[in-house]
Amino acid sequence: MMVLAQAGLVTCASAVEPLSQVEQIRCLSREQTARALPVKLTGVVIYRRSQNLVMHDGKAAIYLDFGFAQAQGVWKGPLPDLEKLEPGTGVEIEGVTDPGGFSPMVLVGKFSTTGPQPIPQPIRPTTEELLSSSLNTQWVEVEGVARKLEDSPGMEKCLTLLVGGHPCPVILHDGQGLSRERLVDAKVRVRGVLLDIANLRSQTAGMKIHSNGMQDIDVLVPPPSDPFLARKVALNRLITFRPDADIGHRRVSSGVVIFAVPGRFFYLLDQQACVRVDSTETQVSPGDQVEVSGFIDTSRILAVFSEALIRKIGTGTVPPPDEPLISEILNPKVRSAEELVTEPGYPDCNGRLIRLGGVLRRVLPPDKDGNAIVVVESGEHLVQALLPGAAPSWAVGSVVELTGVCELEIARLDKLPWFSITGFHVWLSSPGDLRVVSQPPWWTPQRLGILLAAVILVLGLALAWGYVMRRQVSVRGAQLAAEITARESARLEFVTILHERRRLANDLHDTLEQALTGLALQLEIASRSRSSDPALCGHHLHLAQQFLERSRSEVHRAVWDLRAHGQDGREFMDILGERVSSMVEGSGITITLKREGDQVSMPDLIAGNLLLLAQEAVTNALKHSGASEIGITLGLSHGHAELVFEDNGCGFDPTAVPGQYDGHFGLQGMRERTKRLGGQIELSSAPGHGTILRVKVPLPSEEMREPT
């Protein structure tokens, strides 16, 4: 081992020098073999297939791959015909290492033969060594009893050996000269290449041997000339204690067939002992008295016959089915030593014909083995019944009765050398073994579920329809409300315009018409006195000029009232101060302006109307209150604008104030303008206590404001 370890270290240190010994390659790790280290080997072929060889260099063997080497670009050109290469041919190869699927192998780049050479002696490993994976791809020799011979793809055949109590498949490359009569139940010695069965994780999951053919098989003890001449054994004594026990070879037993699935298995009864017999025999049916010759399979917890041959010897009687309780099936009575002697049968229900009643709960489609699965509720337990082939259309919920053979499900306990029955299933030979006692009621859970689903669907549709109709009514109501609001706004606007026209007509009648009348009178007097009294003419012309200036002012005021001026980028308070200051100039009245609240901008429409409201309020104070001080306060928030006017004038009774029908339009005009803005106006006054006027209008949110 020291030499091998040193060889591996040298190879890892220098990838230039090719590896020349198989043991060097086998000692490499997967990571090292994956580096495609150069290889140059000389040896002899011990096994060949279509695209690979196994070569032995005198100390160890290794797998040589040609097909994968070609795919990886290591082998150039067409592949050689390896089928013509006989075992025992000397070869020289060059290639690179590869991790392989389980153990290291070589991808061949160059290949040549050197003539015939002797094949080295095989290794004779123990069973433990065979299962350890350390001898993968090595030339070995094993002994065992041949259990089965089957055909494999092509010319290959598979011979199953029992080696040390473990099944070992032997793949024979050349199947010529092999016969079941000569090999099955014979003790043989086989030479071949040991190849472990690897799982998806590259872990060993079993063993198999690849052999060249009949030349690598030696028959040590031939089988009996007649399989039924093998040692006889009672069904209740298959593998019980005896000093000369040998379960490797065939054993012969007999009994009555009580249940059969032809071509697969049947159950044999003898002295109340039931045993399963696996056989491909198709001509077997319940009631046949048969003799079987087969191998005792100990891979299961309850022993069975496998690879059995059958010989009918008569006709027997099938006993009636038992009707045990499920608790008795799952918890059989443990018999004492005396009872084992006096009672020849088995205490458990495995293999016995039983009858169970219950309710059919499910019928599943056939599984991978072609067995339909029927689930029956019997008491507090769910029992599976297996039926070869498809099941009829049984109605779920029916009360049924099962008649079949019981097969226990047994698990090995981890901490004790004992076993536990975890469940059981029932084999049915035909659909007639399930008898429908009564059909299910019409109101099955499935139909009830369908009805409930239909009711829920109808209710859901009704709720959805109601929701849609409610939405439509809501939308239509909103549309009608908007239309009504628009009509009301149009009506209000018309009334407001009418009132404005009436107010403007009255103003023009009271001011402009009177001024024009006075102007005409003064001009007429000036015209008469122009030649007789020039001084008097000039005086009346001066009066006419005053009438004209007054008329211009009145026209300017009327036009101002008809417009709602914007702010033009200026602050509202600045514009307000400018307007009211010009109105009280020379009157001796003091006006105080004040601003409160947030820094919120007002749209031009609202600002223009508030300016007109302020002008009207100041005008009313000038005309009627006799005030010496007027205070104007503007309060702003993100939702409202409030304009407050307060004077120290004579005040008045708000309930007795003259209206528009008395020729006074000031307060009415302010109310209508405030209403158009969606706001409110409050008037508070009393004789001798001054007047307070509050105008509060809503401000639109920032998202709803139109760009100015």
Question: Using H for helix, E for strand and C for coil, what is the string for 626-643?
Answer: CCCEEEEEEEECCCEEEE
Asked if residue 126 lies in contact with residue 141, where contact means CB atoms within 8 angstroms, the answer is no
Asked if residue 369 lies in contact with residue 390, where contact means CB atoms within 8 angstroms, the answer is no
Domain 235-332+341-438 and domain 570-704, same fold? Reply is no
The whole-angstrom distance between residue 249's C-alpha and the CA centroid of its chain comes to: 54
Question: How many CB atoms within 10 Å of residue 17?
Answer: 12
pLDDT of 415 reads 58
Q: What are phi and psi of 141, to 5 degrees?
A: -135, 125
CA distance 382 to 300: 24
Give me 10's structure tokens: 């040298």
- DSSP 8-state code for residue 17: S
pLDDT of 538 reads 81
Domain 2-116, what architecture? Beta Barrel (2.40)
Residue ranges of domains in the chain: 2-116, 127-221, 235-332+341-438, 444-562, 570-704
Confidence of residue 106 (pLDDT cuts 50, 70, 90): very high
Would you call 547 helix, strand, or coil by DSSP? helix
- Closest by alpha carbon to 248, among 294, 207, 182? 294
Instruction: Provide the CATH number for the domain formed by 127-221 in this structure.
Output: 2.40.50.140
For every residue of 395-438, DSSP letters joined together read PTT-EEEEEEEEEEEEEE-SSSS-EEEEEEEEE-SSGGGEEEEE
Residues sharing a CB contact under 8 Å with residue 381, sequence separation 6 or more, in sequence order: 326
Of the spans 245-259, 308-322, 627-641, 658-672, which averages the highest pLDDT?
308-322
CA distance 289 to 310: 10
Distant-in-sequence contacts of 149-154, Cβ < 8 A, 24+ apart: 149/178, 149/179, 149/180, 149/183, 149/184, 151/175
Summarised one tens digit per residue, pLDDT across range 219-232 is 999 998 899 998 89
Confidence of residue 37 (pLDDT cuts 50, 70, 90): very high
Cross-strand bridge partners of residue 382: 377
Instruction: Provide the CATH number for the domain formed by 235-332+341-438 in this structure.
Output: 2.40.50.140
Q: Which amino acid is present at 150?
A: E
- Closest by alpha carbon to 55, among 27, 82, 28, 18? 82
Give me 7's structure tokens: 């060889």
pTM across the whole model: 0.59
Q: What is the mean pLDDT of residues 514-540?
A: 76
Residues sharing a CB contact under 8 Å with residue 21, sequence separation 6 or more, in sequence order: 7, 41, 57, 59, 60
pLDDT of 505 reads 64
Domain 570-704 fold: Heat Shock Protein 90 (3.30.565)
Look at residue 589 and tell me whether its pLDDT is greater than 70.
yes
pLDDT of 503 reads 61
